Amino acid sequence: MYDIVIIGAGTAGLSAAIYGVRAGKTVLILESGMFGGQIVNSRCIENYPGIPKISGYEFSKQLYDQAVSLGAEYRSTRAANLLKKDGSFTVLTEEGKEELSAKTVIVAAGAKHRTLGVPGEEKLKGQGVSYCAACDGAFFRNQEVAVVGGGSTALSDAAVLSDYCKKVYLIHRRDTFRGEAKLVDTLKEKENVEFVLNSRITAIHGEEAVESVTVENVSIGGTKELPVQGVFVAVGQVPDNQMAAGLVELDDMGYIISGEDCKTSCPGIFAAGDCRTKEVRQLVTAASDGAVAALAACEFMI
């Protein structure tokens, strides 16, 4: 019986582990992929307080090493289901079909960026293909980039990038945007922003880094190639919370409904990081969630 089982080893999960073991609790971290989450592939992090510059891998490795050296246990396995029985919880794993018992559970499974699913995207992730303009935009100063999406996130990304990029192509599959009208009006006034509507990217090209994209017009047909050095994908995220769906309340998008206290609708289960409902999803807020969730779990066990 563990005091705390943490599902997910991103920034939120590893931060929760650090705070949990420092509080004297037995902590088990479950992660189906590589520790670190989405940020592990980022070439450079420059917006984390106290660390002027660090790679995503090194940042994640330091968090992982810190948690494990303090005494957290780590297993490479996927949490397939979460059950409650007699006041405690059982986590069923996919590999080996283990049944792990816990007094409390912190779900920090994160959210995966929705991808375009086109040739070249996977190959060039972190080499020009990005899912976070706030994280990576500064690397493309005075260069030409493409932003893909039609919601407020894509519009905001295009606005931010237009401040220091030479050219920003805003590519959207429809002829109207779903995002805020005010953002659209702001972008229309910018000389270095070009709307590419009724269009979709069909391929991303480049050997070591992004060099261009192929764009197809979905209304009249035909393709063209745009010379860009960066592609910022903003077509939504997909949370990975299905293992807890039977116990905690989710919103329409699948995010765990949870406030800044990280408490869920099920006492003893806490949500931290990108998997929960929140306005800001950044490294620093994920770390904050991890600390809050771990301390809340410790308080729950008193």
The residue-averaged pLDDT of 119-142 equals 92
Among the listed ranges 41-50, 240-249, 280-289, which one has the minimum average pLDDT value?
Answer: 41-50
Number of structural domains (the chain) is: 2
- Catalytic-role residue among 135, 165, 262, 298: 135
- Catalytic-role residue among 136, 240, 274, 289: 136
User: 212 or 153: whose pLDDT is higher?
Assistant: 212
Give the span between the Cα atoms of 86 and 108, in whole angstroms: 24
Question: CA separation (Å) from 67 to 42, 45, 83, 185?
Answer: 21, 20, 26, 47
| DSSP character string of 241-253 | -GGGTTTS-B-TT
Q: Is residue 25 part of a domain?
A: yes
Question: CA separation (Å) from 38 to 130, 235, 297?
Answer: 11, 16, 25
Q: Is residue 121 part of a domain?
A: no
- Out of 180, 206, 233, a domain closes at 233
Q: Is 132 a catalytic residue?
A: yes
258-288: per-residue pLDDT in tens?
999 999 999 999 999 999 999 888 899 999 9
Indicate if 161 and 180 belong to the same structural domain. yes
pLDDT of residue 46: 82
Q: Is residue 120 part of a domain?
A: no
User: 193 or 38: whose pLDDT is higher?
Assistant: 193
The residue-averaged pLDDT of 185-190 equals 95
Q: Is residue 89 part of a domain?
A: yes
CB-based contacts of 154, cutoff 8 Å, min separation 6: 147, 148, 170, 172, 179, 234, 235
Give the span between the Cα atoms of 228 and 199, in whole angstroms: 16
56-77: per-residue pLDDT in tens?
899 999 999 999 999 999 999 9
Give the domain CATH number at 16. 3.50.50.60
Indicate if 105 and 252 belong to the same structural domain. yes
User: 247 or 44: whose pLDDT is higher?
Assistant: 247
pLDDT of residue 86: 87
Helix 181-188 vs helix 152-162: crossing angle, to nearest 10:
30
Give the span between the Cα atoms of 280 and 213, in whole angstroms: 30
- Out of 195, 214, 233, a domain closes at 233
Phi, psi dihedral angles at 294 (to 5 degrees): -65, -45
pTM of the model: 0.73
Nearest residue to 175 (alpha-carbon basis) of 159, 191, 157, 198 = 198
**Proportion of the chain above pLDDT 90, given as a percent:** 81
- Out of 199, 233, 267, a domain closes at 233
Q: Is 165 a catalytic residue?
A: no
Indicate if 149 and 165 belong to the same structural domain. yes
78-124: per-residue pLDDT in tens?
999 999 988 899 999 986 578 999 999 999 999 888 899 999 999 99
- Catalytic-role residue among 132, 165, 262, 298: 132
The residue-averaged pLDDT of 279-300 equals 95
Indicate if 108 and 186 belong to the same structural domain. no
Indicate if 99 and 243 belong to the same structural domain. yes
Domain that holds residue 187: 129-233
pLDDT of residue 96: 54
pLDDT of residue 24: 98
**Proportion of the chain above pLDDT 70, given as a percent:** 99
The residue-averaged pLDDT of 3-24 equals 98
214-240: per-residue pLDDT in tens?
999 999 999 999 999 999 999 988 898
